[in-house]
Amino acid sequence: MRTFLLIAFANLTFFICYSQAGTLNENFGNKGTMVDNLYIGGCKSVISLKDGRFIGAGNGFLNNVGGFLIARYFENGVVDSSFGLKGKTLVDFRLGTESLVSAELQSNGKIVAAGSYSPTSITQIGLARLQVDGTIDSSFGINGMVTFHFGLASNKIFIRDVAIQADDKILLTGMSRKNDNDISTSFITRFLKDGAVDESFGDKGTIQTIFDDEIEIKAIAIQDDEKILLGGNSGYLSGLSQFLMIRYLQNGEIDKSFGIEGITKKGFDKMDSRMNDLIIDKTGKILTGGFTLNNEAKENITIVRFTNNGFIDNTFGENGIVVTNLENQSAISSFLIQNDGKIIGAGNYDLTSDSSKFLIVRYNDSGIIDSAFGENGFTYTAIEKSASCFDATLQANGKIILGGGILTILNETYFAFANYNGDDPEKNKYVRIKHWLHHHGITWEDKPNNLINYYSIQSSTNGKAFTEVARIYSNHNGGIQTYSAANNATANYRVAAVSNTGNITYSNTLSLVNTTPTIQLYPNPAKNNLQIQGLPAGTTKLRVTDITGNTRIIASANSTVYSINIAQLTSGNYLLNIKTANEVITKQFIKE
């Protein structure tokens, strides 16, 4: 789908074209793809920066020296030579081998690279930190690097993922084994932001959880309330593996309120499965994905969504599950969630052949494939002989970058990226809120024919965890909508525009400082009569609706103070819409 905007002025004509979402961005690299062939290796992690540049992190090898390889690129895929040494930094721990699994940014923009370090046959945790300019940060650990081993000296450690807390502490997760027969223990180790082990966490910095079956940890995520979520697989050697999640409190104790005693498992009848990634959406729901094997041993994309408390979300797909059966074997490696709630899965297509491809697919919030994306919801991208995607990131302009490794016809491996067009940046801007001058509230434009069902007004004390405080239904005719806060406390507000099909677009977030609203309702809660004070002079139309949008009372006021009889209403929450000559004001009240 292509959208053309024609602007004519002074005999000049300009055309602005937005490419279809999900197609390759031909302004990136070589018509949408880029291979960085200086170092032998592969990219395991991709990070978008606010200025449009991005970081690729993985493993590299050049001139008999190997290690963590971190590179920075411009938005168009060109190497940023101002970073590190001609655009790249190779971190060599020396006296051993290294393998990077993931990288993340701390709040100051410094780059934390995490993986394994093996000076002997016993693997240790390996961490390194780079400055924003790509130089190794000598203030982190010892000369910018940290190595750490816990438990018995013979313990084998398998590192799988890293996450950064809001306070910049570093969480590293994976599996640990005392021997080859010990295959049922997960671990989380926490480091302070300077690389020192946080001994206040668990047992001298590490918590280990022993399961009743063999397990594999694949991903870690941190909730807005700072609880820690691990995802992976249970029984993964049995041929009937299940998706597995465990949640911990901030101090490392298992959160018994999650799932069943802190653990959730999801099997797929007689099908084997693998979870590769998990992500938490803005409502706190947990999206997990990877693949399941059907009766023909074919891998199919599989996504499962859980509620915040660890149970299946039956509003998603079919009983919480979406299985997408493509012509060839396919799986999800990484998830992204757009601001409008749409879900992007990045992974691989035609996995078992010698010519596997990058795969990108998009679903709406309910789990239905978005046919407007790519070709019927999908795009497959061939790069060199074979390509494997390990990670993905959303750029500020809505474009999507997939990162991984490729295999050339000479059997050499290199960093590889593909860049895909996102939505027209104006397409989903159903709502942008502004401060409502002279009132303690917010205002936005309800555009005509925008297919919006209702606007969910949401507030938050910390700007992270939002709660719905009111709903305002679209009149579909256009106009200015306003919401006046229920009290005058300082809070953060945003509006979620919910479409008729259930898609959600979030507005910007505004902080309302403590003021006194002009229009006041009292008493609130009210039983028989609701007093309205502060109305404008002249005639004001009043309408009371329930939370589903049904009109219950209509009245007109001709003075600045008015009493409305609500005795006939049943107990519950209601909205009072106050229509003046220039705007519609919405206030919430409770009927006793």
Q: Where are the alpha helices (DSSP H) in 166-316?
A: none
Residue, of 575 and 70, whose pLDDT is higher: 70
Residue, of 156 and 152, whose pLDDT is higher: 156
Residue, of 325 and 426, whose pLDDT is higher: 325
The predicted-structure confidence for 156-171, as pLDDT tens digits, reads as follows 889 999 999 999 999 9
Helix (H, G, I), strand (E, B) or coil at 558: coil
The predicted-structure confidence for 308-324, as pLDDT tens digits, reads as follows 999 999 999 999 999 99
pTM attached to this predicted model: 0.72
The answer to whether residues 71 and 83 touch, using CB atoms and an 8 Å cutoff, is yes
pLDDT of 272 over the 50 cut: yes
**Does the fold of domain 520-591 match that of domain 434-512?**
yes
Helix (H, G, I), strand (E, B) or coil at 263: strand
**How is residue 336 written in tokens?**
């992204």
Strand locations in 510-571, DSSP E?
Answer: 510-512, 520-522, 529-533, 540-546, 551-557, 561-565
Which neighbouring-strand residues pair with 271? 268
**How is residue 308 written in tokens?**
């915040």
Helix (H, G, I), strand (E, B) or coil at 42: strand
Q: How confident is the model at residue 432, as a pLDDT? A: 66
Instruction: With CA atoms as reference, report the closest residue to 20 among 32, 7, 29, 33.
Output: 32
Instruction: With CA atoms as reference, report the closest residue to 381 among 34, 10, 88, 11.
Output: 34
Mean pLDDT of 55-81: 94
Q: How confident is the model at residue 213, as a pLDDT? A: 87
Residue, of 515 and 445, whose pLDDT is higher: 445
Burial 303-317 (b: 16+ CB within 10 A, else e): bbbbbbebebbeebb
**How is residue 489 written in tokens?**
């406390």
Mean pLDDT of 3-9: 31
Q: How confident is the model at residue 134, as a pLDDT? A: 97
CA distance 239 to 492: 48
CATH architecture for segment(s) 520-591? Sandwich (2.60)
Helix (H, G, I), strand (E, B) or coil at 548: coil
**How is residue 170 written in tokens?**
């570093």
Instruction: With CA atoms as reference, report the closest residue to 428 among 368, 363, 499.
Output: 499
Q: Name the DSSP letter for residue 119.
A: S
The predicted-structure confidence for 448-483, as pLDDT tens digits, reads as follows 666 788 888 888 877 667 888 888 887 766 677 877
pLDDT of 59 over the 60 cut: yes
Report the mean per-residue pLDDT for the chain: 86
CA distance 548 to 347: 40
pLDDT band at 527 (very low <50, low <70, confident <90, very high): very high
Q: Of all residues in the chain, what percent carry a pLDDT higher than 70? A: 89
Helix (H) or strand (E) holding 202: none
CA distance 159 to 125: 7
CATH assignment of 434-512, among 3.40.50.300, 2.60.40.10, 3.40.50.200, 2.60.120.260: 2.60.40.10
The predicted-structure confidence for 496-511, as pLDDT tens digits, reads as follows 888 877 777 777 777 7
Q: Where are the domains of the chain?
A: 434-512, 520-591
Can you tell me which residue has the tokens 């799988």?
Answer: 160
Q: How confident is the model at residue 96, as a pLDDT? A: 81
CA distance 3 to 16: 8
- The HSE-up count of residue 210 (CA atoms within 13 Å, CB side) is 3
Q: How confident is the model at residue 212, as a pLDDT? A: 86
The answer to whether residues 185 and 209 touch, using CB atoms and an 8 Å cutoff, is yes
Q: How confident is the model at residue 275, as a pLDDT? A: 95
State the CB neighbour count (10 A cutoff) for residue 552. Answer: 15
**How is residue 473 written in tokens?**
């239904």
The answer to whether residues 378 and 23 touch, using CB atoms and an 8 Å cutoff, is no
The predicted-structure confidence for 91-112, as pLDDT tens digits, reads as follows 999 888 899 999 999 999 999 9
The most distant pair of C-alpha atoms in the chain lies apart, rounded to whole Å, by: 86
- Size of the chain, expressed as the number of residues it contains: 592
Q: How confident is the model at residue 454, as a pLDDT? A: 87
Q: How confident is the model at residue 497, as a pLDDT? A: 84
The predicted-structure confidence for 207-259, as pLDDT tens digits, reads as follows 999 998 899 999 999 999 999 999 999 987 777 889 999 999 999 999 999 99
